[in-house]
C-alpha cells in the first residue's frame, strides 16, 4: 500500500539543501522584494530561436507519445474517450475529450433533465508536451468514484502558443462547457478542476484569469443590456493588483495575441468552480531551476536541465520586460491574497512529491491558502519524483497509483454531494520535513 504523510496542523520548516555556501537562500523571497522586470532567470544572451525550440518540442512530443503508449498498457486498462469537441481559435483548435461515468446513458434516458457534475482536467508536460489522453487512468477513477463527466482539455502548447494562450484556452474550454451544458447533461454550477504539473498550474491560474476577464467584460456591458454583444476589453488598460504590502503592482497579461475567449466572453453564462485537485503543481516562475534543485530533498531525482530549459524558454521566454513571471496567471503562488480568496474555491487538494523540485513552493502555497481560510488537503507522497504516476513502464503497480487517485476522487465526490460545496471538517497540511516511512510500507509505482 502507498503511504502518504499528513498532519492536522501547519508545520512548515526549512528544507535542508545540504549546502553551506549560502549563495542563495531556500527561504521564499517576499513578493515586494522580487524584481518585476528582471525576474527572468534564463540567459538573455543565448536565447534559442523559436524554430529550434519548436524542433526540440516536436522531438520530445514524439518521445512522450511513445512513452504514453506504453503507459496505457498497464492494467487495469483505462478507457478511451467517449467523444470529443473542438473549439476554433486563430490557429489550431482546442480539443475536449469526454470520459463518461458508467451510468451516463442509462441516467439520461431515464431522466433527460438530470445534470452530472463535471471534472475539467488539464494535462501536464511543461506547457510544451503532453496530451489530453495522458490522464486517462485518473479519468477512469474519477468517473467511477464520483459519477461525474470528465473532460480533458487539449490546450495549445508552447513554443507555438506561449503564455498566456494556454491559460486562455482553458478558460475558453470552461465557457464552452457552460454554454453547452444542457446538450451535454452537465451541471455548470458543479465543476471541479484538476491538473498535473503544468496542468496543475492551470488549475489554479484559470479561475483567477476567468474572474479577471469577467470583470473586464462587465465594465464594457451596456447598462440596458444583460449581455455584452462585443468585447472591447483590448481598448482598456488592465487593472493593477496590489501586492500584500501595497508598494508594488502587478499587471496581468492581456493582449491581442490572447485566444478568442477574450473576444467572445459570455459573462452571463453560469459557472461555479467548487474544487481543485492539483498534482505536483508549478506555482512560482520567479525562482530559478537551480535554486529549486538545491531546495529539493533528492536533487538527483529532479527533471533534467534539457527539458526544463525547453519548458522555460518556450512558455515565458526572456527578456521579461513586463514582469510576466510575476503574473498571477503564470505564478498563481504569487497572486495577491484578495485574488486567491475571491478567485479560488473553498475546497482544494494539493498532492506533492517528496523528491520534486516543486515540493517547497507547493508547501508554501498550501500553508498560505489555509491562512486565507481555505479547506486544504495537502499531501506529500514519499519517496517519489515529479510525475511518478506517469511512468511508461507497462508493468508498474497501477493499483498502487489508483489508491491515491481514489483518495483524491473521494474528496471530489464529497464536495459534489454537498449543496453549498463547502466542507465543515478540519483541513490537513503536510509537514515541511517528510517523516520517513518504513520501506516495507511503500510501494513505488515507478
* 243 in any annotated domain: yes
Dihedral pair phi/psi, residue 332, rounded to 5° = -60, -20
106 part of a folded domain? yes
Mean of the pLDDT values across residues 114-138?
98
User: Residue 419 has what pLDDT?
Assistant: 66
Q: Is a pLDDT exceeding 60 seen at residue 246?
A: no
Residue 24 has pLDDT above 70, yes or no: no
Q: What is the distance between the alpha carbons of residues 89 and 264, in angstroms, rounded to a whole number?
A: 11
Q: Which of 1-10, 256-265, 334-343, 414-423 has the highest mean pLDDT?
A: 334-343
CB 336 within 8 A of CB 328: yes
Give long-range contacts, CB 8 A cutoff, 24+ apart: 74-78: 74/137, 74/393, 74/394, 74/395, 74/396, 74/398, 75/398, 76/140, 76/398, 76/399, 76/402, 78/136, 78/137, 78/139, 78/140
Q: Is residue 3 part of a domain?
A: no
Backbone angles phi, psi at 205, to 5 degrees: -75, -30
Domain assignment present for residue 241? The answer is yes
Spell out the residues 6+ positions from residue 398 whose beta carbon is closer than 8 angstroms to its own: 74, 75, 76, 137, 445
Q: Which residue has the higher pLDDT, 328 or 442?
A: 328
In a domain, 177, yes or no: yes
Is 18 part of any domain? no
- Tell me, what's the pLDDT at 322? 75
Domain count, the chain: 1
Backbone angles phi, psi at 198, to 5 degrees: -60, -35
pLDDT band at 215 (very low <50, low <70, confident <90, very high): confident
Tens of pLDDT, residue by residue over 249-304, are 334 444 433 333 443 455 456 899 999 999 999 999 999 999 999 989 999 999 99
- Rounded CA-CA distance 385/117 in Å is 32
pLDDT classification of 415: cutoffs 50, 70, 90 = very high
- Beta strands 83-87 and 94-99, pairing class: antiparallel
pLDDT band at 42 (very low <50, low <70, confident <90, very high): low
Asked if pLDDT for residue 335 goes beyond 60, the answer is yes
Specify if 354 maps to a domain: yes
Within a domain: 19: no
- pLDDT for 318 equals 80
- The model's pTM is 0.79
Q: Provide the domain limits for residue 382.
A: 31-441
CATH number, residue 292:
3.40.50.1820
Alpha-carbon dihedral 411, 408, 122, 255, rounded to 10 degrees: 50
Amino acid at each position: 500500500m502507498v503511504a502518504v504523510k499528513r498532519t492536522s496542523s501547519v508545520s512548515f520548516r526549512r528544507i535542508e539543501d545540504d549546502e553551506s555556501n549560502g549563495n542563495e537562500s531556500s527561504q521564499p523571497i517576499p513578493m515586494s522584494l522580487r524584481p518585476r522586470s528582471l525576474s527572468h532567470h534564463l540567459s538573455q544572451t543565448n536565447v534559442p530561436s523559436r524554430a529550434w525550440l519548436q524542433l526540440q518540442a516536436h522531438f520530445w512530443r514524439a518521445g512522450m507519445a511513445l512513452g504514453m503508449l506504453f503507459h496505457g498498457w498497464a492494467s487495469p486498462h483505462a478507457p478511451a474517450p467517449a467523444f470529443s469537441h473542438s473549439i476554433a481559435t486563430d490557429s489550431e483548435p482546442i480539443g475536449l475529450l469526454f470520459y463518461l461515468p458508467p451510468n451516463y446513458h442509462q441516467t439520461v434516458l431515464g431522466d433527460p433533465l438530470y445534470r452530472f457534475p463535471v471534472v475539467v482536467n488539464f494535462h501536464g508536460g511543461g506547457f510544451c508536451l503532453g496530451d489530453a489522453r495522458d490522464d486517462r487512468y485518473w479519468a477512469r477513477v474519477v468517473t467511477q468514484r464520483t459519477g461525474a463527466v470528465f473532460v480533458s482539455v487539449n490546450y495549445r502548447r508552447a513554443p507555438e502558443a506561449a503564455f498566456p494562450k494556454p491559460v486562455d484556452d482553458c478558460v475558453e474550454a470552461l465557457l464552452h462547457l457552460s454554454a453547452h451544458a444542457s446538450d451535454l447533461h452537465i451541471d455548470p454550477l458543479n465543476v471541479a478542476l484538476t491538473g498535473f504539473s503544468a496542468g496543475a498550474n492551470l488549475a489554479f491560474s484559470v479561475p483567477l484569469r476567468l474572474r479577471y476577464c469577467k470583470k473586464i467584460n462587465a465594465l464594457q456591458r451596456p447598462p440596458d443590456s444583460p449581455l455584452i454583444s462585443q468585447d472591447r476589453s483590448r481598448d482598456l488598460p488592465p487593472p493593477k493588483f496590489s501586492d500584500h504590502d501595497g508598494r508594488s503592482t502587478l499587471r496581468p497579461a492581456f493582449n491581442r495575441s490572447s485566444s478568442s475567449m477574450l473576444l467572445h466572453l459570455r459573462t452571463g453564462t453560469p459557472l461555479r468552480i467548487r474544487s481543485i485537485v492539483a498534482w505536483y503543481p508549478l506555482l512560482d516562475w520567479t525562482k530559478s531551476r537551480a535554486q529549486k534543485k538545491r531546495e529539493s530533498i533528492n536533487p538527483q531525482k529532479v527533471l533534467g536541465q534539457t527539458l526544463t530549459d525547453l519548458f522555460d524558454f518556450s512558455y515565458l521566454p526572456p527578456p521579461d520586460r513586463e514582469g510576466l513571471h510575476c503574473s498571477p496567471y503564470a505564478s498563481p503562488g504569487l497572486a495577491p491574497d484578495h485574488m486567491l480568496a475571491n478567485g479560488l474555491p473553498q475546497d482544494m487538494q494539493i498532492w506533492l512529491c517528496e523528491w520534486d523540485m516543486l515540493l517547497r513552493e507547493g508547501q508554501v502555497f498550501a500553508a498560505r491558502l489555509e491562512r486565507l481560510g481555505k479547506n486544504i488537503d495537502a499531501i506529500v507522497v514519499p519517496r517519489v519524483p515529479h510525475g511518478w504516476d506517469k511512468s511508461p513502464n507497462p508493468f508498474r503497480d497501477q493499483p498502487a497509483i489508483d489508491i491515491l487517485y481514489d483518495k483524491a476522487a473521494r474528496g471530489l465526490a464529497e464536495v459534489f454531494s454537498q449543496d453549498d460545496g463547502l466542507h465543515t471538517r478540519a483541513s490537513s497540511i503536510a509537514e515541511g520535513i517528510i517523516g520517513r516511512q518504513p520501506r516495507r510500507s511503500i510501494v513505488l509505482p515507478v
